[in-house]
């Protein structure tokens, strides 16, 4: 093979405008339009008959789990359909009738494909056959599975140390696949297992583990029916967890109230027309939010401190505001917290969060009287330098109110990918767990490595420094999802081999190492047969319930392999029979994987038996108020600092968010219906007063710049849209704006990139 020729790859793809038109932001979510749009997407990708047949099995007991988000299914799913508009889009994207075959790759070089937009790339169809990109080529060519596995084994063997390998996971993999993958990576000899959750809820995991002793939430779905107050912070459920709106609706019907804390007035939080009810289709729908606190970006700590201070003042008068019995029995650090709050003036806190005194008073009044409180949150809290502090302040509030370990109350970090929580539970992590290592050693007869591995941001750095040379991804789209797109691209391009186990074509197949492999795999919705017998797998939802999922569609191609088979194939080629783990039998028999998983991972006892039925909840110490593993055996109050930002003159704070028509880097369409934007993604939302001050017209073309540590980064060509957003704040979509996020600026402790608070300046495009 000749020496590597540098390919001419367009890392960012097309930046052409697509023909915007604007409407008023929608006054409600879902309703008839939601049903219509869901079906349009489904029919276009799958045809009418297949759409109805497949949707009828999604989120049903005998069917498959929605490939969209991790929101749980009700105990008794409605036979009429238990999915939302965006679940239908996620399914349509996976179950599309379009195919990418070897002829497609012979026609289009990676150089040409890389100039397309992510939307165009994603719409090409399902990957059907393993492909290789040789160092001297710009065209992918077919390769057999066995040759692909040998190529991987050879590259892995050539590394100077196992720590030169990076093994990424995205949260779509089943528990079985993820467990086997983690086992292979450890057997290979490294803990370099960066995961999409490093860019996602890692801040929640860190904050909750330190304060409550478990990195997961404590509520169950039916707690929403019993809650007196649900606070939805830094989350846009109408788009990203649409069926959560039904849970909020039930809370309201039972007399509960909803507080939304968000710089934007998201449609899904204003009013919900439940498509499963007649009144939701023909009526005006149900109002959801009682109080909207339009906090400035990244000022949630200030807001929560202000609320705690006001509640503390009221408590000195009535003593019924805080749950003193709960505080005395279950917590540590109460006095220190009260003292610490004295450091902050109410005036400063009020000014920082930018909310009116009246709204704060309303909120404090409501919270003072109630003690069944749920706090839900997502990326609006986790993706900041102080992401961990944001969540610790939420825990403070719940502890003060005794809102844990009782029905209708608790923590609810709302997870992203459908099995991201399960993947972590079964051992995908870069941290070392001595208990897990011991259990693996006992069950499998080898000693896993005890050195901490690299998370996402540190894996990028290692590849850039050529300290890591082989990158393998079980799902996902690393180059577009990670921060600092150009830096991340350069890091991947320095690798000797990049491998993507994928269902659909994406940019990470085009921005590659010297050699690259595409290994096509089965999706959720597809049947997984071996020796004439259909296999199923298990997943864990956002509330810690494990249940099974069984596909119903014939596979997109007869060459696809399941994820456990692909992992097993890599392991067999690498170890060549010289390893105590029976990789071959495990990758064929998921029952066997589950047996071993149950032996090794706490809480999964009887996994095989339990996953036959309705599923089961994993143990959760917060539900039983057992804090014995924490200092003093108590839940911990935290004293956190306020965030500091170096704002230049004319600087703005930018949050990078999802449109209504995308799943992370998968672009379903070009609309963001609820925010009134149609047929365009290159937009930046700005307060009309800021536009006036800066002399920007509606749809002015501008460039965004960030400048960290003296390095300027630029995102070119965005259209300014006047929007109801606090002054000084901006919003734009990811992945287009990931070029602006410096890879080496991330949350303290959790290392989550600062994708929701990027300091930028903005200039008219020359
Ligand atoms: N359809 C669809 N569903 C999805 C996804 C998808 O892309 N599409 N992605 C999945 C994944 S992986 C994830 S992690 C989740 C993400 O779900 P979300 O976290 O809801 O997604 P984002 O669009 O990032 O929205 C963040 C929200 O936080 C607000 N926000 C931003 N900064 C701040 C802040 O400083 N303070 C406060 N209080 N609010 C702030 C924004 O205005 C926005 O409403 O969704 C999952 N579900
Ligand atoms: N600026 C900015 N950046 C962000 C975020 C943000 O809010 N702002 N959000 C972050 C968050 S929360 C997350 S979770 C990450 C997401 O990061 P990733 O998880 O890496 O990205 P996805 O776009 O979800 O991955 C999509 C790809 O997964 C593959 N895929 C889909 N289903 C399957 C399957 O069943 N098996 C396999 N093997 N592959 C499959 C398809 O090929 C598809 O192209 O992005 C992060 N990046
Ligand atoms: S709420 Fe999430 S899991 Fe449920 S159907 Fe919608 S996208 Fe799928
Ligand atoms: Mo996520």
Distance CA 465, CA 99 (A): 37
Q: In 510-589, at which residue ranges do the beta strands (DSSP E only) sit? A: 515-520, 529-530, 533-534, 537-540, 545-549
What pLDDT, on a 0 to 100 scale, did the predictor assign at position 281? 64
pLDDT greater than 80 at residue 726: yes
Q: Hey, whose CA ends up nearest to atom 45 of ligand 2?
A: 481
Distance CA 117, CA 532 (A): 41
Residue 372 CB coordination number (10 Å): 19
Q: Using alpha carbons, list the distances in angstroms from residue 441 to 187, 404, 448, 449.
A: 10, 36, 7, 11
Expressed in angstroms and rounded, the spacing between residue 549 Cα and the centre of ligand 2 is: 20
Residue 5 CB coordination number (10 Å): 11
Query: 5 vs 522, which has greater pLDDT?
Result: 522
Ligand closest to the CA atom of residue 195 = 2
pLDDT digits over 371-423, tens only?
A: 999 999 999 999 999 999 999 999 999 999 999 999 999 999 999 999 999 99
What pLDDT, on a 0 to 100 scale, did the predictor assign at position 278? 67
| Pocket lining for ligand 2, CB < 6 angstroms | 170, 172, 196, 199-200, 379, 383, 416-417, 474-478, 481, 501-504, 506, 521, 523-524, 563, 656, 664-666, 734, 737-738, 741, 755
Question: Can you tell me which residue has the tokens 């209708």?
Answer: 408
Expressed in angstroms and rounded, the spacing between residue 200 Cα and the centre of ligand 4 is: 4
> What protein residues have CB closer than 5 angstroms to ion ligand 4?
200, 416
What pLDDT, on a 0 to 100 scale, did the predictor assign at position 3? 45
What six digits make up the tokens of 24? Answer: 């008023």
What pLDDT, on a 0 to 100 scale, did the predictor assign at position 32? 79
Question: Can you tell me which residue has the tokens 């999915």?
Answer: 83
What pLDDT, on a 0 to 100 scale, did the predictor assign at position 319? 75
Residue 257 CB coordination number (10 Å): 18
Expressed in angstroms and rounded, the spacing between residue 41 Cα and the centre of ligand 1 is: 22
Instruction: Name the strand (E) or helix (H) holding 146.
Output: helix 145-157
Substitution site in 288, 380, 384 for ligand 1 pocket (most atoms within 8 Å of beta carbon): 380
Expressed in angstroms and rounded, the spacing between residue 594 Cα and the centre of ligand 2 is: 26
**In sequence order, what are the beta bridge partners of 41?**
none
Query: Three-state DSSP class for 284?
Result: coil
Index of the ligand 2 atom closest to the CA of residue 741: 1
Any idea which of 130-139, 281-290, 593-602, 756-765 has the lowest mean pLDDT?
Answer: 281-290
Q: What is the mean pLDDT of the chain?
A: 95
pLDDT greater than 70 at residue 574: yes
Expressed in angstroms and rounded, the spacing between residue 199 Cα and the centre of ligand 4 is: 7
Ligand closest to the CA atom of residue 127 = 2
pLDDT digits over 688-709, tens only?
A: 999 999 999 999 999 999 999 9
Distance CA 248, CA 376 (A): 11
Question: Can you tell me which residue has the tokens 């604007």?
Answer: 22
pLDDT greater than 80 at residue 613: no
What pLDDT, on a 0 to 100 scale, did the predictor assign at position 282? 64
Q: Is residue 83 in contact with ligand 3, taking CB distance under 6 Å?
A: yes
pLDDT greater than 50 at residue 487: yes
Q: What is the 3-class SS of 594-661, one letter each residue?
A: HHHHHHHCCCCCCHHHHHHCCCEECCCCCCCCCCCCCHHHCEECCCCCCCCCCCCCCCEEEEEECCCC
pLDDT digits over 86-111, tens only?
A: 999 999 999 999 999 999 999 999 99
Is the preceding omega at residue 735 within 30 degrees of 0, hence cis?
yes
What pLDDT, on a 0 to 100 scale, did the predictor assign at position 34? 83
Q: Hey, whose CA ends up nearest to atom 24 of ligand 1?
A: 657
- At residue 276, φ and ψ (nearest 5 deg) are -85, 0
Distance CA 649, CA 6 (A): 41
pLDDT greater than 70 at residue 528: yes
Expressed in angstroms and rounded, the spacing between residue 70 Cα and the centre of ligand 3 is: 7
pLDDT greater than 70 at residue 498: yes
Q: Hey, whose CA ends up nearest to atom 37 of ligand 1?
A: 234
pLDDT digits over 423-445, tens only?
A: 999 999 999 999 999 999 999 99
pLDDT digits over 622-645, tens only?
A: 999 999 999 999 999 999 999 999
Quote the Cα angle for 716-717-721, to 5°.
130
pLDDT digits over 144-184, tens only?
A: 999 999 999 999 999 999 999 999 999 999 999 999 999 99
Expressed in angstroms and rounded, the spacing between residue 418 Cα and the centre of ligand 4 is: 10
Q: Using alpha carbons, list the distances in angstroms from residue 601 to 266, 437, 446, 454, 594.
A: 39, 10, 16, 22, 10
Expressed in angstroms and rounded, the spacing between residue 35 Cα and the centre of ligand 4 is: 25
Expressed in angstroms and rounded, the spacing between residue 196 Cα and the centre of ligand 1 is: 14
Q: Hey, whose CA ends up nearest to atom 5 of ligand 3?
A: 83
What pLDDT, on a 0 to 100 scale, did the predictor assign at position 410? 98
Q: Hey, whose CA ends up nearest to atom 2 of ligand 3?
A: 69
pLDDT greater than 90 at residue 36: no
pLDDT digits over 226-270, tens only?
A: 999 999 999 999 999 999 999 999 999 999 999 999 999 999 888
% of the chain with per-residue pLDDT over 70 = 98
| Pocket lining for ligand 1, CB < 6 angstroms | 68-69, 86, 200, 233-236, 239-241, 261-264, 266, 295, 297-298, 300, 378-380, 416-417, 655, 657-658, 662-664, 756
Index of the ligand 3 atom closest to the CA of residue 82: 5
Expressed in angstroms and rounded, the spacing between residue 754 Cα and the centre of ligand 4 is: 14
pLDDT digits over 743-752, tens only?
A: 999 999 999 9
Expressed in angstroms and rounded, the spacing between residue 33 Cα and the centre of ligand 2 is: 27
What pLDDT, on a 0 to 100 scale, did the predictor assign at position 1? 38
Q: Is residue 275 in contact with ligand 3, taking CB distance under 6 Å?
A: no
Q: Hey, whose CA ends up nearest to atom 8 of ligand 3?
A: 87
Q: Using alpha carbons, list the distances in angstroms from residue 757 to 297, 527, 731.
A: 7, 42, 10
- Sign of torsion over alpha carbons 63, 69, 75, 79: negative
What pLDDT, on a 0 to 100 scale, did the predictor assign at position 38? 87
The DSSP line for 161-201 is SGGGEEEEE-TTS-HHHHHHHHHHHHHHT-----BGGGGTT
The DSSP line for 251-280 is HHHTT-EEEEE-SS--HHHHEEE-TTSHHH
Distance CA 446, CA 448 (A): 6
pLDDT greater than 70 at residue 84: yes
Ligand closest to the CA atom of residue 91 = 3
């Amino acid at each position: 093979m000749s020496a590597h020729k540098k390919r001419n790859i367009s890392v960012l793809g097309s930046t052409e405008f697509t023909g915007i038109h604007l409407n008023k932001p929608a006054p409600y979510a879902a309703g008839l339009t939601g049903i219509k749009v869901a079906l349009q997407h489904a029919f276009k990708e799958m045809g009418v008959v297949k759409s109805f047949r497949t949707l009828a099995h999604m989120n049903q007991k005998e069917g498959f789990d929605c490939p969209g988000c991790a929101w749980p299914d009700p105990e008794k799913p409605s036979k009429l359909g238990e999915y939302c508009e965006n679940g239908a889009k996620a399914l349509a994207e996976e179950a599309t009738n379009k195919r990418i075959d070897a002829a497609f790759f012979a026609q289009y070089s990676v150089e040409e494909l890389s100039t397309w937009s992510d939307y165009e790339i994603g719409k090409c169809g399902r990957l059907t056959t393993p492909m290789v990109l040789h160092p001297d080529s710009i065209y992918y060519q077919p390769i057999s599975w066995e040759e692909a596995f040998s190529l991987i084994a050879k590259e892995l063997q050539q590394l100077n140390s196992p720590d030169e390998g990076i093994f990424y996971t995205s949260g779509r993999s089943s528990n079985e696949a993820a467990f086997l993958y983690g086992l292979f990576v450890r057997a290979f000899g490294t803990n370099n297992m960066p995961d999409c959750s490093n860019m996602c809820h890692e801040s929640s995991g860190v904050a909750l583990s330190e304060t409550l002793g478990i990195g997961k939430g404590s509520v169950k779905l039916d707690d929403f029916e019993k809650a007196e107050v649900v606070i939805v912070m830094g989350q846009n459920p109408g788009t990203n967890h649409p069926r959560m709106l039904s849970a909020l609706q039930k809370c309201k019907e039972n007399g509960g109230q909803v507080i939304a804390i968000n710089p934007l007035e998201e449609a899904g939080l204003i009013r919900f027309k439940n498509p499963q009810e007649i009144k939701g289709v023909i009526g005006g729908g149900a109002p959801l939010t009682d109080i909207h606190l339009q906090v400035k970006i990244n000022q949630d700590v200030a807001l929560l401190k202000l609320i705690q201070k006001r509640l503390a003042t009221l408590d000195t008068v009535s003593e019924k505001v805080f749950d003193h019995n709960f505080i005395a029995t279950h917590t540590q650090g109460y006095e220190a917290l009260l003292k610490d709050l004295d450091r902050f003036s109410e005036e400063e806190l009020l000014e920082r969060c930018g909310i009116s005194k009246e709204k704060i008073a309303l909120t404090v009044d409501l919270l003072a009287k109630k003690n069944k409180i749920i706090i839900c949150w997502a990326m609006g809290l986790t993706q900041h330098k102080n992401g961990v502090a944001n969540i610790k302040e939420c825990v403070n509030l719940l502890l003060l109110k005794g809102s844990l370990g009782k029905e209708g109350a608790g923590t609810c970090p709302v997870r992203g990918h459908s099995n991201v929580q399960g993947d972590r539970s079964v051992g995908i992590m870069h941290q070392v767990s001595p208990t897990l290592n011991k259990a693996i050693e006992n069950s499998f007869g080898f000693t896993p490595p005890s050195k901490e591995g690299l998370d996402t941001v540190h894996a990028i750095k290692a590849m850039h420094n050529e300290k890591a040379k082989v990158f393998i991804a079980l799902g996902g789209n690393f180059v577009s999802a990670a921060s600092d797109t150009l830096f991340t691209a350069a890091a991947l391009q320095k690798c000797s081999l990049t491998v993507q186990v994928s269902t659909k074509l994406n940019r990470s197949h085009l921005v590659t190492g010297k050699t690259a492999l595409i290994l096509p795999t089965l999706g959720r919705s597809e049947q997984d047969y071996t020796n004439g017998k259909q296999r199923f797998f298990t997943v864990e939802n956002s509330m810690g319930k494990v249940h099974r999922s069984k596909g119903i569609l014939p596979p997109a191609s007869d060459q696809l392999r399941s994820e456990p088979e692909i992992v097993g194939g890599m392991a067999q080629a690498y170890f060549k029979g010289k390893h105590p783990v029976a990789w071959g039998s495990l990758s064929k028999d998921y029952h066997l994987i589950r047996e071993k998983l149950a032996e090794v991972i706490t809480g999964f006892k009887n996994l095989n038996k339990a996953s036959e039925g309705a599923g089961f909840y994993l143990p959760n110490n917060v539900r039983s108020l057992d804090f014995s593993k924490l200092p003093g055996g108590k839940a911990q109050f935290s004293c956190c600092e306020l965030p500091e930002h170096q704002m230049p003159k004319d600087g703005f704070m930018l949050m990078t968010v999802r449109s209504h028509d995308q799943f992370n880097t998968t672009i379903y369409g070009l609309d963001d219906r609820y925010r009134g934007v149609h047929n365009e993604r290159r937009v930046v939302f700005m307060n009309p007063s800021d536009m006036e001050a800066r002399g920007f017209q509606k749809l002015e073309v501008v460039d965004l710049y960030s400048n960290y540590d003296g390095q300027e980064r630029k995102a070119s060509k965005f259209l300014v849209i006047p929007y109801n957003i606090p002054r000084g704040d901006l919003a734009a979509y990811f992945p287009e704006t990931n070029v602006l996020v410096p890879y080496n600026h991330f949350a303290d402790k959790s290392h989550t990139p600062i994708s929701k608070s990027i300091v930028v300046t903005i200039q008219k495009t020359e």
